[in-house]
Structure 1
Amino acid sequence: MSAQGEGRGRPGGVVDLHASLLPLAFLVGTWRGEGVGGYEGLEGFHYGQEITFAADGRPALGYVSHTWWADEPRDGREPGGPLATETGFWRVQPGEDGATVIEVTLAHPFGIAEIYVGSVAGTRIDLDHNVVIRTATARDVTRSVRLYGLVEGGDLAYAIDMEAGGKPMQSHLSARLRRVSD
């Protein structure tokens, strides 16, 4: 399978999607949209987001996410101002009994790195096992889980639940993104 993506590949930006990544082929490309966020003790907010999943022929998808403030000015934030960035890699591994296992590694510029392990079934991805590594100055995030999937109209939707600051696991972020490029 070929996909548009950044990195090494054939002329014109076309690269071969590694065979192990076929269960994630539906993610390849750039997605853009809006989401909502909140957490206990934090006023709800709206954000814009762009996510890119890029193939370069190796057995991992590159992943980059950028978010920006999409609400009225508040607490020193202005519309369009940067919020969060994540970068990492998504891999597929064979699991027990023929299951498809997803391994995701993410790094955040505020001192947190995460490893997720989960499953893919069709166009639904459940990342339900998580390890968080924090620097001494990072936020007190202890665990999170993520759900991604294609929804009506072919959009990519996701939800992230988080356990942080001594508070129980609860909804933190969710968004619906439309594909803007392959």
Structure 2
Amino acid sequence: MALPPQLQPLVGTWRGTGSGHYPTIEPFSYTEELVFRDVAKPFLVYQQRTWSPEGQPMHMETGFLRSPTPTTVEFVLAQPTGQAELAEGTLTPLEEGLLLELQSPQVLVATSAKPVQAT
């Protein structure tokens, strides 16, 4: 099965800078890279990584993005810190790209991992 056409605009490598703010730590900056690969299946393979301005690794995750209908998406993610999540939502084509609005109805957490209820 081929990749659904509604996911085709995501294929590629996307990179940019950002900043994080959490109540328990100092604000921070980072660079983030997202890679969506077409593997000739009805889903995309996803890889994400983030690093500090000094080039130190900060975060990474991997997973799969599928679109069972032209307007819905399902995102399955795994993190090396012991969390796995399922995010589901809508896909809306826009003139400048796609809008994915997702919610995490399920986050699985290994017994040794920090607790996470939603992302």
Corresponding residue of 2:71: 100
- SS of residue matched to 1:24: helix
Corresponding residue of 1:65: 48
Deviation at 1:91, TM superposition (A): 0.3
- SS of residue matched to 1:26: helix
Corresponding residue of 1:171: none
Aligned length, in residue pairs:
115
Q: How many percent identity over aligned positions?
A: 36
Distance in 2 of aligned mates of 1:130 and 1:64: 21
Change (3 A) 1:42 1:141: same
Corresponding residue of 2:112: 137
Higher relative contact order structure (alpha carbons within 8 Å, sequence separation ≥ 6): 1
Q: Normalization by structure 2: what TM-score?
A: 0.90
Corresponding residue of 1:49: 32
Corresponding residue of 2:11: 28
- SS of residue matched to 2:40: coil
Instruction: Give the structure with higher Rg (CA).
Output: 1
Q: Normalization by structure 1: what TM-score?
A: 0.60
Amino acid at match of 2:28: F
Q: Cα RMSD between the aligned structures?
A: 1.5
- SS of residue matched to 2:30: strand
Tell me whether 1:89 sits opposite 2:72 in the alignment: no
Q: Which has the higher helix share?
A: 1
